Amino acid sequence: MRPSRRAPDELRKVSLERGVARYAEGSCLVKFGETHVLCTASLEERAPPWLRNSGKGWVTAEYSMLPRATHERTRREVTSGKPSGRTQEIQRLIGRSLRSVVDLTSIGEKQIVIDCDVLQADGGTRTAAITGGWVALHDCIQWMRSRSMLTGNPLKDHVAAVSCGIAGGQPVLDLDYAEDNGAETDANFVITGSGGLVEIQGTAEGKPFSEEEFLSLLRLAKGGVAQLVELQKLAVM
Amino acid sequence: MRPSRRAPDELRKVSLERGVARYAEGSCLVKFGETHVLCTASLEERAPPWLRNSGKGWVTAEYSMLPRATHERTRREVTSGKPSGRTQEIQRLIGRSLRSVVDLTSIGEKQIVIDCDVLQADGGTRTAAITGGWVALHDCIQWMRSRSMLTGNPLKDHVAAVSCGIAGGQPVLDLDYAEDNGAETDANFVITGSGGLVEIQGTAEGKPFSEEEFLSLLRLAKGGVAQLVELQKLAVM
Amino acid sequence: MRPSRRAPDELRKVSLERGVARYAEGSCLVKFGETHVLCTASLEERAPPWLRNSGKGWVTAEYSMLPRATHERTRREVTSGKPSGRTQEIQRLIGRSLRSVVDLTSIGEKQIVIDCDVLQADGGTRTAAITGGWVALHDCIQWMRSRSMLTGNPLKDHVAAVSCGIAGGQPVLDLDYAEDNGAETDANFVITGSGGLVEIQGTAEGKPFSEEEFLSLLRLAKGGVAQLVELQKLAVM
Amino acid sequence: MRPSRRAPDELRKVSLERGVARYAEGSCLVKFGETHVLCTASLEERAPPWLRNSGKGWVTAEYSMLPRATHERTRREVTSGKPSGRTQEIQRLIGRSLRSVVDLTSIGEKQIVIDCDVLQADGGTRTAAITGGWVALHDCIQWMRSRSMLTGNPLKDHVAAVSCGIAGGQPVLDLDYAEDNGAETDANFVITGSGGLVEIQGTAEGKPFSEEEFLSLLRLAKGGVAQLVELQKLAVM
Amino acid sequence: MRPSRRAPDELRKVSLERGVARYAEGSCLVKFGETHVLCTASLEERAPPWLRNSGKGWVTAEYSMLPRATHERTRREVTSGKPSGRTQEIQRLIGRSLRSVVDLTSIGEKQIVIDCDVLQADGGTRTAAITGGWVALHDCIQWMRSRSMLTGNPLKDHVAAVSCGIAGGQPVLDLDYAEDNGAETDANFVITGSGGLVEIQGTAEGKPFSEEEFLSLLRLAKGGVAQLVELQKLAVM
Amino acid sequence: MRPSRRAPDELRKVSLERGVARYAEGSCLVKFGETHVLCTASLEERAPPWLRNSGKGWVTAEYSMLPRATHERTRREVTSGKPSGRTQEIQRLIGRSLRSVVDLTSIGEKQIVIDCDVLQADGGTRTAAITGGWVALHDCIQWMRSRSMLTGNPLKDHVAAVSCGIAGGQPVLDLDYAEDNGAETDANFVITGSGGLVEIQGTAEGKPFSEEEFLSLLRLAKGGVAQLVELQKLAVM
């Protein structure tokens, strides 16, 4: 039995609330159970310097946690002078994941910044951020289209993410903090609406895992993402 | 006529929602109109080093804005390597204001950190943060009392804050962003429940102001704070 | 009786010595008793970036203390990697105060930097810096006028500053370090030659103060600034 | 045909030279073709603070490139003030990988630091660093055992790493820079001597990849790591 | 003819004014012509960590320029986040020079910090700082002796410094800024009262110099330092 | 007898291996006994900003040590946020020394960066770096000439460096770490192929040195550099 009494292949209660930020071009408050992430999309008129005169745009992400999103208060990174390695790793992952479903040429030399601020953390913040970030990105692109800033639709597919792990010897979907802490293996999967794999990150905590175990996690992830994509479709309808 | 059609001595719609952060010892989502600040209180077992062996505790505050709390996205301070002067000025003000109504000796050698994170900004974020921060602080102290960590009540009074300014030649209460931007004079007042003055900060934007003008702002502020204190009382009832 | 045996409304011995820095366009060594601040004005050919093509110039200030300006040696801020919050707060105050009496459009797209370096500190360094900074600024503007870089006079008025406080239950003018340390309330006033209020900053140390107390401080400040302005007039004659 | 004319499942020429650093407790100059990484192991008498009194030790890694390890000179990170996100990601990966085969309790409260300095880079620096880092770690542990600092052998298994990718539509092993640059999918695998999976990181560059493609990469990786482990065995014989 | 009309072996007008800083244990305002440096000595109760339990003390120096000490205003180093290489090189030189005449064991586990702040710069700031720093150090040691903190006299000798160079093909003593700028060779000499050499730093600007030329600079320096030592003796009499 | 059993005027075994870095325009692995420094020369298309439109180029150097180049592991400077004073002092010395034999105008508006990375340190790393850096610079200039990027030869002379010191009361050449540590006086000499002096840096460790002692060091240095220059000639033949 999982601590949350969920079935092994059961997601937490997920909600995707759009339009929560008054000034942003797109926004979504995503909840995976007690994990709450506020995602906003900001359109910036200038692409990063390395794209100048390329005709291409960019989608990037930033990630942060409020200090008391966690059980114990965590220090603000501003006082340590730089984002931690973990923060940078996560924001690079979110950015790459969202870019995998965007035609950057259609955006033109602009940049969309997806800010993912964790209001409350109970495991799986990066997967929630990717899933909710897609909604914010979608709405930002709609905002641009409604102002005739785009001719086609640069958003080619859905993308969502979920964590899986082996906990108590059993492969389980969408770990919360309590489960994640004790898991032997922890993996994050980023998968598109059409089932393409975008990112796979599996890490043994302690003892290495077998190929078989890994494949069972992949199966769980595909089922979980399919559900998340359905929720995204409902959200932006 | 004010841009918001409020009377000169009329506050924006204010709400104080308690208990919004699952893990914090006290929390309050404060709204002054479209200005929304999430205040959490975190109890830390250790007072700052300079109070070691003094028997006294400390209350401090940190302040930050989400990047897209504003019309234009603002850069995260973490990437500039330090909190800006403005941020530091504000968090010092919030800390001083809340400490003015706390008996630090009764707390013992502990520290309460009030985090004020602006989710959405429409002027007056620091005054909202002080007003809502008091509620979070109150609840943290209640949490301590209910666990018999305190004998008496270290919270001696209410404290709240409001901005006033001269806009369009007229003294007005609780400026929003549009009004603040065009105001000739801008002042923040921090006042206790019993009417004591804790902080007065008045700044001429452009042309200096007269003593008379200043006194009319002070009168408005006293009325505004009295209403805010009533709302605090209702919130923690 | 005040520790310095001064009357409640008596300034410390103030001197304003011009022309002390060989290379600066304007300079003033200001002394408020044992508080000594070297103020220099440097003309820079370029206004800050945000004023480009605005036709307007800028006046800004930087503030620092020599390490042994104080009783105990203080660490240089360079080794901590950033100006402290206190330093930033002070230099923003000096800059705003001086800009309040300058017509920035008449300066053209140039910048005047007022450096205020505290050689010796005995309380009231920021008020001394504003008072002496005005003299350095005046001389820089004279230097520009004598080279026909200006047609009119962008300096519209005097501005000076003084601290007041309630010490030993009594409102007193121009606190030195010993008095400031024990004061219940501490306030800084920046006032123009024609009596306009530019900045008011009042802070309760410990117990809040009453409106009446505050008004008595304001009265003292107005008298003190009037004397400082007379000394400025003598200095630049 | 691959640019290097290798077969799809052919490693580059790999060499592992031990004992190359006069002062280090263990060292290995690892070459994967034109990728050369100098790995040193340094024994430190103190474990990190969070392990104090736990009886456990730690293995960590640091990673850096010489400025002219690359085609174009890259700036030293010291002048940008912090390790880049990429550097931090890599050094965390190397550390986790090596720890997966070490019994940290047997080491006692000590720390072994594996420094991986890339002298020349031609793709696959992180996988070379893990593979060579294991040799340096092995020799450091031998050094400790020969001084009777350890009773048992904390090194439980081999661990090595290799990259795979889909380039020109074909799954290939151990990409060099030219191949990596054009690859559609890029994956790193860290695998133990007994075939356990430690880390899997797969990233689509551009177009998502299918489950089938991913499994073919995993098969290549298992074959490649088996060869690398044989070379490690020869090296430390 | 030198630009300053001085003879080749003629120092600028030098003055050494003691007791200029109210709070410091020793102080000296040293002037080498238009180069003015304020030197203060601060006694700190604790030696640096690496001397703990050694019974030895330390003498160190810090060096800084006021922004408008120079013809053009220079940026404060605090805003660049670290002391420049030049600043660090100079403060290490000053510290080493002064330590060469101090018996660090007699001081006990204390530290004396010599702060050298350049109020005005016209070449030779480091040599002025060493020469004036010695006076501040002397007075600090006197201060300690008069409080019976020392039994013997840890100050074993005088030390002073001067620059020499080849300008216009001619070896000259004590270069000012104008002369230094055009000099072919620039050298700094730190020499004790008894004629011992402490530091020699000679640098060719452009064309290398000959041994003969170098020896003529050394002769000039010995004469110059002898005069500076006489002035130190008068100053501390 | 010296610890290394060398004669007082005997260099360590010196080798200069060219062409060791695949991508660099010039490179040299220099060994002075157990001191090993990898020097690479990188041609950059742009001169530093202050040379824009001057028609002149620049030669600069950067210096770093691998963490385990030393007996005890040293922390990477990247984690302290800036190059240490010692590092900056050394890299400025290397740059000045190499520029003394280059006609910067013949290079055109380009920059050559000499990276000196110490793989193993046993004293004299800066002198080895200058000596080997010259070879890397030479080869970079040959590379440019062979591509007709230069008409004449901007390299006007050889330059090499060696340390001398007084150890055990005796003047000795080319100190290794053991000898350097106990030396009373330590001096570095940078001398051209034609015997011109470029840099002289002599420092008393503890007791000052006499003019005579200094001259004996200079004689040793001239002999040592003459040998190093012969080795450079052989290396680039």
Which one, of F98, F154, F103, lies nearest residue F126 by Cα? F98
pLDDT averaged over every residue in chain A: 94
Q: Is the dihedral of CA C18, C21, C24, C30 positive or negative?
A: negative
d(CA E183, CA F196): 17
Query: Would you call E85 and F89 a contact, using CB atoms and an 8 Å cutoff?
Result: yes
Q: Which helix (H) or strand (E) holds C214?
A: helix C211-235
Q: Which residues of A touch B38 (CB under 8 A)?
A: 66, 119
Residues with Cβ within 8 Å of residue B57, at least 6 apart in sequence: B47, B51, B104, B105, B106, B107, B108, B109, B110, B111, B112
Q: What number is the average pLDDT over the span D146-172? A: 94
Secondary structure letter of residue B155 according to DSSP: B
Q: Cβ of D204 and A187 within 8 Å? A: no
pLDDT profile of chain F (237 residues), mean per 10:
94 97 97 98 94 94 96 83 84 96 94 98 97 98 95 94 94 95 91 97 89 95 98 96
Pick the residue with more confidence: E109 or B79?
Answer: E109
Q: List, as ranges, residues 65-94 from C with C-beta within 8 Å of E.
A: 66-71, 73, 76-79, 81-83
Q: Does B201 touch chain C (CB under 8 A)?
A: yes
- Core vs surface per residue A204-214: b (16+ CB within 10 A) or e: bbeebbebebb
D165 pLDDT exceeds 90? yes
User: With an 8 Å Cβ cutoff, is D204 touching chain A?
Assistant: yes
Give the residue on F whose Cα is nearest the Cα of E209. F197
pLDDT (mean) for A140-154: 94
Give the mutation candidate from C32, C68, C72, C115 for the E interface (greatest E CB count, under 10 A): C68
> What is the per-residue pLDDT across F147-182, written as a single tens digit (0 to 9) for each?
999 988 999 999 999 999 999 889 999 999 999 888
- pLDDT tens per residue, range B191-220: 999 999 999 999 998 789 999 999 999 999
Alpha-carbon distance F16 to F129, whole Å? 11
Q: How do residues F108-124 score in pLDDT, each as one tens digit?
A: 999 999 999 999 999 99
pLDDT at B128 over 90: yes
Closest CA to F202 of F176, F184, F181: F184
Contacts of A68 in chain B (CB under 8 A): 21, 23-24, 27, 40, 42, 115
**Distance between CA atoms of residues E150 and E145, nearest Å:** 5
Q: Which tens digit of pLDDT belongs to each residue from C151-202?
A: 889 999 999 999 999 998 899 999 999 998 888 889 999 999 999 999 999 9
> Tens of pLDDT along E24-61?
999 999 999 999 999 999 999 999 999 999 999 999 99
pLDDT in tens, B138-174: 999 999 999 999 988 999 999 999 999 999 889 999 9
Is pLDDT above 90 for C79?
A: no
**C-beta atoms of D81 and A82 within 8 A:** yes
Residue F9: the pLDDT is 97
Of A152, A116, A122, A163, which is closest to residue A135 (Cα–Cα)?
A116
Across the range A107-129, mean pLDDT stands at 97
Q: List the single best residue of C93, C211, C212 to mutate versus B (max B Cβ within 10 A).
A: C211
| Chain D contact present for F136, CB below 8 A | no
pLDDT band for position A81 (cuts 50, 70, 90): low
Phi and psi at residue B189, to the nearest 5°: -125, 130
Please name the residue of chain C whose CA is at the shortest distance from the CA of residue B214.
C197
Nearest residue on chain F to D41, alpha-carbon basis: F68
Spatial distance between the Cα atoms of D204 and F194, rounded to a whole number of angstroms: 60
The number of angstroms, rounded, from the C-alpha of A201 to the middle of its chain's C-alpha atoms is: 14
Euclidean distance between CA atoms E10 and E7, whole angstroms? 5
With 90 as the cut, is the pLDDT of residue A77 above it?
Answer: no
B125 marked among binding-site residues = yes
Closest CB to E197 among F83, F92, F208: F208
Of A27, A67, A120, the CB nearest to B62: A67
C-alpha span between B117 and B121 (Å, rounded): 10
Tell me the mean pLDDT in the region D104-114: 95
Residue B216 burial (C-beta neighbours within 10 Å; 0-12, 13-18, 19+): middle
Structure confidence at residue B58 (pLDDT): 97
In this structure, the strands spanning B197-204 and C197-204 are antiparallel
* Predicted pLDDT of residue E81: 63
B100 contacts in chain C (CB < 8 Å): 204, 206-208
**CB-CB contact of F42 with F144 (8 Å):** no
Q: Is B126 assigned a ligand-binding role in the annotation?
A: yes
Query: Which of B78, B80, B91 to substitute to test the interface with A, most A CBs within 10 Å?
Result: B78
Structure tokens at A224: 């979980």
The pLDDT of residue C81 is above 70: no
Pairing assessment for the beta strands F58-65 and F111-120 based on DSSP bridges: parallel
Alpha-carbon distances, residue A98 vs A130, A141, A155, A174, F229 (angstroms): 7, 13, 10, 20, 59
Residue of C nearest to B102 (CA): C206
Q: What is the pLDDT of residue E195?
A: 95
**Any C CB within 8 A of E27 CB:** yes
Asked if D223 has any chain F CB less than 8 Å from its own CB, the reply is no
pLDDT tens, position by position, D62-105: 999 999 999 999 988 776 667 888 898 999 999 999 999 999 99
Q: Do E214 and F199 touch (CB under 8 A)?
A: no
Q: D110 pLDDT exceeds 90?
A: yes
Gap between the Cα atoms of D25 and D149, Å rounded: 13
Residue E206 has a pLDDT of 76
- Beta strands, E only, chain B: 14-18, 26-32, 35-44, 58-65, 111-120, 159-167, 170-173, 185-192, 197-204
Q: Does E191 touch chain C (CB under 8 A)?
A: no
A218/D contact by beta carbon, under 8 A: yes
Q: Which residues of chain E have pLDDT under 70?
A: 79-81
Location of structure tokens 């360590």 = F12
Say if the Cβ atoms of F210 and E198 lie within 8 Å: no
What are A206-224's pLDDT values in tens digits? 789 999 999 999 999 999 9
Residue of B nearest to C204 (CA): B198
- Mean pLDDT value across residues A187-193: 97
Specify which residues B185 forms β-bridges with.
B166, B204
Answer whether F206 touches E (CB < 8 Å).
yes
CA nearest F73 in D: which residue?
D42
**CB of F236 less than 8 A from some CB of E:** no
Residue E216 near chain F (CB below 8 Å): no
Residues of E in contact with F89 (CB under 8 A): 85, 88-89, 92
CB-based contact, F207 to chain E, within 8 Å: yes
- Of the candidates C92, C211, C218, the beta carbon closest to that of B211 is on C218
- Nearest chain D CA: its distance from A48 CA (Å): 17
Residues 6+ apart with CB under 8 A from D18: D26, D27, D28, D135, D139, D235, D236
With beta carbons less than 8 A apart as the criterion, state whether A21 and A237 touch: no
Residue A79 confidence (pLDDT) above 80: no
Contact assessment for residue F222 and residue F125, using Cβ atoms and an 8 Å cutoff: no
Residue B81 has pLDDT above 70, yes or no: no
* Whether pLDDT at D114 is above 80: yes
Say if the Cβ atoms of D23 and F66 lie within 8 Å: no
Complex ipTM more than 0.85, yes or no: yes
Give me the pLDDT at residue F80, please.
Answer: 63
Q: Map out the domains of chain B with their CATH numbers.
A: 14-236 (3.30.230.70)
pLDDT score for C152: 87
Q: What is the DSSP letter of B96?
A: H
Which of E24, E69, E83 is opposite residue C68, by nearest beta carbon?
A: E24
B149 touches C at CB < 8 Å: no
pLDDT digit string, tens, across residues D27-44: 999 999 999 999 999 999
Bridge partner list, E167: E170
How far is Cα C56 from Cα C108, in angstroms, rounded to an integer? 5
Q: Shortest Cα distance from A121 to chain B (angstroms)?
A: 9
Q: How far apart are CA B189 and CA B204, in angstroms?
A: 15
Average pLDDT over residues B74-87: 79
Per the CB < 8 A criterion, the answer to whether B122 and B33 are in contact is yes
> CB-side exposure of A50: number of CA atoms within 13 Å?
1
Tokens linked to F83: 């190059």
Check residue C85 and give its pLDDT. Answer: 82
Tokens of A20: 């929560």
CB contact under 8 A, D199 and A196: no
Joined tokens for residue E211: 């041994």
Partners of residue E76 in chain C, C-beta under 8 Å: 62, 64, 78
For chain D, the chains sharing at least 3 beta-carbon pairs closer than 8 angstroms are A, F
Q: Which residue from E76, E115, E120 is facing C66, i.e. has the nearest CB?
A: E115
Return the number of CB contacts < 8 Å for A and B.
Answer: 78
D36 three-state secondary structure: strand
Distance CA C136, CA C129 (A): 10
